[in-house]
Chain A
Amino acid sequence: MGAWQSYRLRLQRKRWRIRAFRKRRDLRPVANRTDDIRASDILVFCTQRNEGVRLPWFLKYYRDMGVNHFLFVDNDSTDGSLDYLARQPDVSVWTTRASYKRARFGVDWLNWLLSRYGHDHWTLTVDPDELFLYPFCDTRPLRALTDWLDASSIKSFSAMLLDMYPKGRMDSQPYQPGQNPIEIASWFDAGNYTIRKNPQYGNLWIQGGPRARVFFHDDPERAPALNKVPLVKWDRRYAFVSSTHNLLPRGLNQVYDEWGGEKASGILLHTKFLSTFNEKAEEELERRQHYGASREYLAYAEGIRENPELWCKWSEKYINWRQLEILGLMSKGNWA
């Protein structure tokens, strides 16, 4: 990479940070318990809108994993989820009625909170429908991973988005609050992912899965990106660029090995395709607040009307992280 490009990325990173600083005024604290955060705590950062039904499981899942504090941005929820979050002892929540889209799909808000509260912490930036998995997550807490990453001088950890879906119609099994969504959406595509390198930021660009197979088969270039770097030892100089797909400085995107080896990586189980999805898609279509002119949701709405079934004969049923490791979707790397 030339000095010129390096300089431009630096400017770009500064721009995102200034933007995040300006967008801080969108956020109004509802419950700020950040004084409770201790130096070694692991933090979760999340934006949510009307995800009340998912939150009980989400919080339980990450608490059990060993997350110490949650920082939420609530984007104008109307389902009481803001109150629910404000009542949790380990949650700090801010609310905003500003445009999700103009905050670059929430990235500006999160960049602000990250730089303010995430500095020098291990931070996990996820959506309410994303469940993080890492090697040995059934026997070792998240701190075991972050300690190991610290000891290995690794600052960022990759976790590809794995779209989970039910067998049968999406709306056939209603999802109940507090229920493990994987009980319903327990299927996934094991081996139809395509990877390209993004020369600008140095990250991999992964597409595929059921969304490419069913909703984007006529326009595969536009299928959603699945690469994510959710777990980062944050520094206030860092900035997410586009969702958690990539960040700056670009060295943090180097979560893959280029010389034949495998680095350790995890998975984000994406439980978007539950009974709640149709409503959500309809609503988002109306609001037009999502990425790429909500193209994704347009495609879904069309696809869902035609054929709501994502399941196919070769879908794989989720068992545990070891299964995903064997399938080559994630890797233990040299963590043993």
Chain B
Amino acid sequence: MSVGIVMLVHTAFDRAEQVARHWAGAGCPVVIHVDRIVKRKVYDGFVAQLSDLPNVLFSRRHRCEWGTWGLVAASQDASELMLDRFEEVRHVYLASGSCLPLRPVQELVDYLAARPRTDFIESATTADVPWTVGGLDHERFTLHFPFSWRKNRYLFDRFVEVQRALGYKRRIPRGLVPHMGSQWWCLTRQTLSAILQDPDRPRFDRYFRHVWIPDESYFQTLARLYSTNIESRSLTLSKFDFQGKPHIFYDDHLQLLRRSDCFVARKIWPHAERLYRAFLSDADNAQSRQEPNPGKIDRIFAKAVDRRTRGRPGLYMQSRFPNPGWENGMTAGKYSVFQGFAELFEDFEAWLARATGAQVHGHLYGPERAEFAGGQTVINGALSDNALLRDANPRAFLTNLLWNTRGERQCFQYGPRDNPRINWHMARDPNAQISVISGAWAVPLFKSNANFADIRAEAAALQKIENKMLDELRSPDVKARIRIWTMAEFIEAPMEPLQVIIDEIGQKSLRRLSEAPRLTDLNGFGQFLQNLKNQGMHPYLMGDFPVEPAPRSAGARKRKPYLVKK
């Protein structure tokens, strides 16, 4: 008893010949089908090349365009020839010219001999598998497809639409339940001959002739009628990408294929010299066998599909530039933005770095330069602190910084003096944690040594900018984690909100904060605000602030604010 190989070939004839010789040499008869599109001269040459082998035959040629009936007709004719001419064949294995046996042929023969009644054919009902690409799953059995998908995609699609619109449906022949699966099967003589010699075959053939991609459904469906024992898997290792194209194996897949434990793999790149050399010489192949590990191949190809369809979150590059809303993560990692904290607390950045262990920058969007942590002028990824470079594309600056420092939490200061064009982008980013103490920009003004008229003008400008920023942060479309306090609100109980923010950053242990940041001296700040008011500039973003400090000026940090009476 032996295995017969049916080979469908349309290109790379030198490789097909090599593989055919390998099968035939190991005692497996081979029937080869060559696509009719192949030129007569090439075909004759190929036949002549293999003429020295008595157990290699050639079957009647059909035109095998992908997705059409030709492939089934080719398999039928070749299988008939195989069953007819080689009495001893018990299993017929359908393979292509770019298939490569990975294990010694004898192992396959023994394996099948031990399972004489088993048909290996992947066969699942359409409702239950998500394999199909392009949305034609059940419809491939109920519509007509007169136009070529490859050459006439437009007409193909339109015709499908028309049939859908008209509600047209073909009737599926009685007794058939459409099944689909890999076109590479291995059937027993019993099952295969039952399919091929069925009195109803003309009726079934007429039906499947107009089914879309019948090579994935003809044998898969009919085998269900006759087989006593279907094992629904393909013995051929074949991986498909997100468009339904088979992945191709190259020389560098040698170790993976060795460990895959599959009998046959497709598709092999015709120039993969090392693979052909390694697998077509039985001797060393048998010895170097390691533990089977087909999972690794699965993982590698699943990852490739994932990379192609979802990509790496937060990455913007030459071949990945998502439209708004399709970023799958606008930035590469979570980050925290602090507005007003550095103004209100002395040495806030150093304290934050100690409390969280994160990288804490100053005002990254500051007007003079990007104030990177530690006063660096260049940071990860050779990102420059130059304000002009940054402001040429503020969003790219942020996404670059977060991509370059992925794995390390980033925190930075922000405020109305900084480039406001980034505010809206951060507000829409679920990775952002934005904490704002509104009105704190007034503290540096309060401490500055400028003329009051200038202070007044700047305060008015900053208040206007911050107000606009807060509007953006309060818009219904924001995705960031946003907290806003007025300054008066915040200094009443500063530790509580700080604890919440730090916990959310969650870098260090969940202990209570042992060290509080030092609040800057606000003695006279109330009066400062009052002076602004007296000049006609009403600062309202900081909330209701006391004009006079509490009587105990020594313990200024402990004082309770009280309301200003108008």
Residues on A facing B (Cβ under 8 Å)? 136, 139-141, 143-144, 147-148, 151-152, 158-160, 189-197, 204, 206-207, 210, 212-213, 217-221, 227, 255-265, 312-316, 328-336
Contact = CB atoms under 8 A, between A and B. Distances in A.
Most buried by B among A193, A219, A330: A193
Contact of B317 (A210, A314, A328): A328
B311 A265 contact: no
Given A204-B318, A258-B321, A312-B378, A220 B392 contact: yes
Interface of B: 241-243, 245, 247-248, 250-252, 269, 271, 300-301, 303-305, 307-312, 315-323, 326-328, 376, 378-384, 386, 388-389, 392-393, 396-397, 400, 403-404
Contact of A259 (B271, B315, B326, B392): B326
Contact of A192 (B310, B319, B381): B381
Given A139-B252, A191-B403, A315 B320 contact: no
17 contacts: A139-B252, A144-B269, A151-B245, A193-B317, A195-B317, A195-B396, A204-B318, A255-B319, A257-B321, A259-B322, A260-B326, A314-B378, A314-B381, A328-B317, A333-B304, A334-B242, A334-B308
A189 B321 contact: no
B226 to A, nearest CB: 35
Nearest to B322: A260
B404 A261 contact: no
A226 to B, nearest CB: 8
A143 B271 contact: yes
A329 B316 CA distance: 9
Given A141-B271, A144-B269, A316-B381, 12 more contacts: A147-B271, A152-B245, A158-B319, A220-B389, A257-B321, A257-B322, A260-B309, A262-B312, A262-B320, A329-B317, A332-B307, A334-B304
Contacts of A265: 317-319
Q: Which of A152, A159, A256, A257 has the most CB of B within 10 A?
A: A257
B315 to A, nearest CB: 5
Contacts of B392: 194, 207, 220-221
A328 B312 contact: yes
B310 A140 contact: no
Given A144-B269, A158-B319, A221-B392, A189 B252 contact: no
Contacts of B381: 189-192, 314, 316
Contacts of A217: 384, 386, 388-389
Contacts of A158: 318-319
A217 B391 CA distance: 11
A152 B386 CA distance: 42
Contacts of B311: 257, 260-262
A145 to B, nearest CB: 10
Nearest to A219: B388
Contact of B308 (A141, A255, A315, A333): A333
By CB atoms of chain A within 10 A, which of B248, B318, B400 has the most? B318
A132 to B, nearest CB: 14
Nearest to B272: A144
A65 B237 CA distance: 29
Nearest to A138: B252
A312 B382 CA distance: 7
A332 B310 CA distance: 13
B271 A191 contact: no
Nearest to A188: B382
B315 A328 contact: yes
B245 A261 contact: no
A194 B403 CA distance: 13
A140 B250 contact: yes
Contact of B328 (A220, A260, A334): A260
The 9 residue pairs across chains A and B that have the minimum distance between CB atoms: A191-B381, A334-B308, A336-B304, A265-B319, A189-B382, A194-B396, A220-B392, A191-B404, A139-B252
A262 B251 contact: no
Most chain A CB atoms below 10 A, which of B305, B310, B320? B320
Contacts of B326: 258-260
Given A328-B403, A336-B300, A259 B321 contact: no
B382 A315 contact: yes
B304 A331 contact: no
Contact of A213 (B316, B317, B389, B396): B389
A213 B384 CA distance: 6
Nearest to B241: A334
Contacts of B243: 152
A5 B381 CA distance: 39
Contacts of B305: 334
Contacts of A190: 380-382, 404
B251 A139 contact: yes
Contacts of A148: 248
A307 B319 CA distance: 33
A89 to B, nearest CB: 22
Contacts of B317: 160, 193, 195, 262, 265, 328-331
